Amino acid sequence: MFDTDILIVGSGITGTALARELSRYDARILVLDRGSDIAEGATKANSGIVHAGYDAVPGSLKAHYNVRGAALFSSLCESLSVPYRKCGAFVIGFDAKDLDTLYVLLQRGESNGVKGLRILSRDEALRLEPSLNPDIAGALDVPESAIVSPYELAFALADEAALNGVSFLLGQTVTAVEKTGEGWLARTGKGESVSCKVFVNCAGSSGADLHNLISDFPLHMTHRRGQYYLLDRAPVLPFSRTIFQCPSVMGKGVLVSPTVHGNLLLGPNAEDIPDPLDTATTSEGLSDVLEKARRTWPGASIRTNITNFSGIRAHLSTDDFLVGPVSGAANAFEAIGIESPGLSSAPAVGLELSEMIAASMSLKRKNAVVSLPRRPVPFHEMTDEQRNAAVESNPEYGNIVCRCECVTEAEVRQAIRRPVGAKTIDGVKRRTRAGMGRCQGGFCSPRVAQIISEETGIPLAQITKDGGDSYLLSGTLASFLKGGSVNE
Amino acid sequence: MNKQYVDLLIVGAGPAGLAAAISAREEGIESILILEREQEPGGILRQCIHNGFGLHRFHEELTGPEYAQRDIDRIRELNIPVECGTTVLSVSDQRVITCVSASKGFRRIQAGAVILAMGCRERPRGALCTPGTRCAGIYSAGTAQRFVNLEGFMPGKRVVILGSGDIGLIMARRMTLQGAKVLACVEIMPYSSGLNRNIVQCLEDYGIPLYLQHTVTEIHGRERLDGITIAQVDKKRIPIPGTEIHFDCDTLLLSCGLIPENELSQGAGVEISPLTSGPVVSDNLETSVPGIFSCGNVLHVHDLVDHVSNESFKAGKAAAAFIRNPSHAEARFAVCDGTGVRGTVPQRISAAPQEDVQLMFRPSDVFRNAAAVVECGGQEILRKKAMIYTPGEMAVLTLKKEVFSTLSGDTITVRIEGEKNNG
């Protein structure tokens, strides 16, 4: 039984942004998530774009939070040492109808306050991005569009929140919420319970289910899956900007974009699915993505594909975010329906929702707030001189664990020792990039598992890929021949 | 910052790097340094505890570690330094190497000649684009082999193997002997890409079915793998609806091909062949960058370690010659793949090779009652008959060094004549 002032359900980009903002106030805060780690839902599987804000309908919450959030991104990522790059974007059109759409987006963007938008001729667009399909009719240039590593931002937000006293309870799914006098009691599937004064729903794809447990105003949410290809890093990528096609009712369509780590991302398609946890890829979905990506990039080759993945967008029938007090439920707040541009909006949603909650509870600001220490430059990005200095100060920088992404033992250990540290193979992967490269952990996962075991004391045979029953191993050779195994 | 000079720097202390070092020393090169990223020399042989190594070179059947140990012993006798736990970070076209280790820190080394012997890696799931969930329990066969043979852990209990490469076949037997149930080995091609002896000794002897022209079409399981679906494929390797078979399993091992690991080579500006994914080399195993040589599985994926050692002895000898006289022989002949041939190494031959030239390649299909033919300028210069040529086994054709002065053309073509047989 936990007792807290504020319970935030969901540790995605919105929940962690909110937790960090609220950690500036004098209050006990607990973040609960069903994942074994931070950012296990949509935050770990999306396009990683900070949208400039030309797409959302003026007057919508999406437009408001997107524009305000995007403006906060650069300094936020700088202060948290999170990879972020304003690489710009094109929205390309193929015919007169598309060009009309580009003008609508231009006007929309301007009324949303987006700077630098302009329509480019075919030739100008092709000169700037020579790998584009020569059949384009024109493009909308969006210089303010940026890319970010979304899960790394969530990790940093969570770490800073934790440094300022926020607790995290991971691997717990809320199954029931009861009103208790002025507050709430949340129960989890594992029999744990949390009592709180204020309940906040940032539960991503479970947002509507959780809302419907406490509100008399039911919501309907659909789950829209998007599949991706992630291609290997290359010295020169075919595109320097994010390339969007004209948006449709199902979303922003298939994009081709560099990532902050120098990979190339193709996706997502959009398909409504019944199960909000079904992040499988399908051959139809992947073919669909490739076919559509080839419209942007006729030379698209998946020969260097590293992995495929899919993410789930939580789409409310109102087609907008829902941010604020929960209708018909006192001392409860929510930020749900956070589909695209949810990542771009998160800093603003976190900020404004924290102000609403603080006002409702009359919270006082703390006198001092701890900033997240600057994260060392990744070994992979260091100069020779920096590498020399790093190994001299800590010999563990001399042991390369992941050869593909050049990640050192020192960095793997640091990732496990962070305030909200990695406990799984995927947790180390997302924090350090060990296993994120072209061999997909084939060489480094045995060593990473060993280091996790050393750091956490978890026996090697109980290390998981990603929590739950995702065991890497079935037991020692000896236990096996005896007919048993440690996991039985 | 530390700076050092060596005559010969070898990247990798697997069988290729060790053999290259031995031959360079026997050629009189004193200043040799081998850098190895693992904690011990021996390369992938360390985890290959099965036998079958060394039949050609030593005329006995050794295990992987035994084979490696013979070279390691010789390296120690010759007093050649091997620095383990040392990762090479870059190689420049001027043969400047940067490397890092916990014990010696970050270093920059100028080498008179460099031999690239980094080996290869396995194709991971991502490269296959197999749809489904991304649960635990999917390993490349080599990773599973490391867990079992070096770490002492079993990756799973009920296993399906995708791909019939040698490591996959070996692991089918290994997992079975260790108490797991291997349900099937699934191969998309109409033939196995592994050695025939491995099909017999690792699958047939244990009653493990081999599904040819099948592939995995879906992966099931949210946290740990709980099953896979396979289906038959048509001639274009597209799954045929209605032929699906489901297996309840907790482990899928992938043995779907090996890729020479040439990121360092590319950083040095070495030209890479799209056919072998290894450097383009001339008959002395020199790459397109003068003084940088390549041998073993980083050059092209071999079937037998005996071939790796043999090739690497040549690379060591050639590097020694370069150190004594740093000149880059111009290529006179281009070697081209003809019908039935894929990825012949070397790709270039000088006007007057110092030694007999071995052309090595993988047949692109199974051929029976066939002959490998080498031609130049319309003239047939070699014909080697065989009952069978198969992609699982490297074909080796030796051209006498004397023959080259008699050739009039510039292009040497290798092809296979015979009955294509997919049976």
- Determine, for residues B153 and A282 on separate chains, whether the beta-carbon distance falls below 8 Å: no
State the average pLDDT over residues B341-352. Answer: 96
| A230–B153 C-beta distance less than 8 A | no
The alpha carbon of residue A156 and the mean position of all alpha carbons in its chain are separated, in whole angstroms, by 12
Q: Please report which confidence band the pLDDT of residue A487 belongs to, taking 50, 70 and 90 as the band edges.
A: very low
Mean pLDDT computed over A322-344: 96
Question: Per the CB < 8 Å rule, is B133 touching A403?
Answer: no
Which A residues, 320 through 349, put their C-beta within 8 Å of a C-beta on chain B?
none
Polymer length of chain A:
488
Amino acid B50 reads H
**Residue A272 burial (C-beta neighbours within 10 Å; 0-12, 13-18, 19+):** exposed
> Which domains are present in chain A?
2-43+151-220+318-361 (3.50.50.60), 85-146+222-313 (3.30.9.10), 379-481 (1.10.10.1100)
Q: What is the pLDDT of residues B253-278, one digit of tens each?
A: 999 999 999 999 999 999 999 999 99
Q: What is the pLDDT of residues A296-321, one digit of tens each?
A: 999 999 989 999 999 999 999 999 99
Chain B touched by A308 (CB under 8 Å): yes
CA quadruple B360, B366, B369, B374: dihedral sign: negative
CA angle, residues A233, A239, A241, in degrees to nearest 5? 110
Q: Confidence class of residue A458 from pLDDT cuts 50, 70 and 90? A: very high
User: Searching chain A, which residue's CA lies closest to the CA of residue B121?
Assistant: A439
Contact B85 A387 (CB under 8 A): no
Q: What is the pLDDT of residues B162-194, one digit of tens each?
A: 999 899 999 999 999 999 999 999 999 999 888
Would you place residue A485 in the very low, low, confident or very high pLDDT band (cuts 50, 70, 90)? Answer: very low
Beta bridge partners of A267: A255
Q: What is the pLDDT of residues B121-161, one digit of tens each?
A: 999 888 888 899 999 999 999 999 999 999 999 999 999 99
pLDDT digits (tens, 9 = 90+) for A40-95: 999 999 999 999 999 989 999 999 999 999 999 999 999 999 999 999 999 999 99
Q: Is the pLDDT of residue A237 over 70?
A: yes
pLDDT tens profile A153-185: 999 999 999 999 999 999 999 999 999 998 999
| Token reading at A330 | 């006192």
Q: Across the A/B interface, how many CB contacts are shorter than 8 Å? A: 159
Q: What is the pLDDT of residue A482?
A: 66
Give the model's pLDDT for residue B423.
45
| Set of chain A residues whose Cβ sits within 8 Å of the Cβ of B157 | 474, 480, 485
Supply the ipTM of this predicted assembly: 0.94
In the numeric block, the tokens 């460099």 are attached to: B114
Q: What is the CA radius of gyration of chain A?
A: 23
What percent of chain A clears pLDDT 90, i.e. is strictly above it?
Answer: 93
Tens-place pLDDT, residues B302-323: 999 999 999 999 999 999 999 9
**Overall pTM surpassing 0.80 (yes/no):** yes
Mean pLDDT over each residue of chain B, to the nearest integer: 95
Residue that the structure tokens 């209605």 belong to: B242
pLDDT over threshold 90, residue A329: yes
Q: Are B303 and B166 within 8 A, CB to CB?
A: yes
pLDDT, residue A215, reads 95
| pLDDT tens digits, one per residue of B223-233 | 999 999 999 99
Closest CB to B100 among A280, A400, A468: A400
CB contact under 8 A, B154 and A406: no
Tell me the three state secondary structure of residue B356.
coil
Share of chain B above pLDDT 90, in %: 91
pLDDT of residue B346: 98
| Residues paired with residue A315 on neighbouring β-strands, in sequence order | A222
Of B231, B243, B233, B325, residue with least CA distance to B284: B325
Interface test with B, best of A383, A438, A452, A463 (most B CBs within 10 A): A438
Query: What is the rounded CA–CA span in Å between residue A252 and residue A105?
Result: 12
For residue B371, the distance in angstroms to the closest alpha carbon of chain A comes to: 33
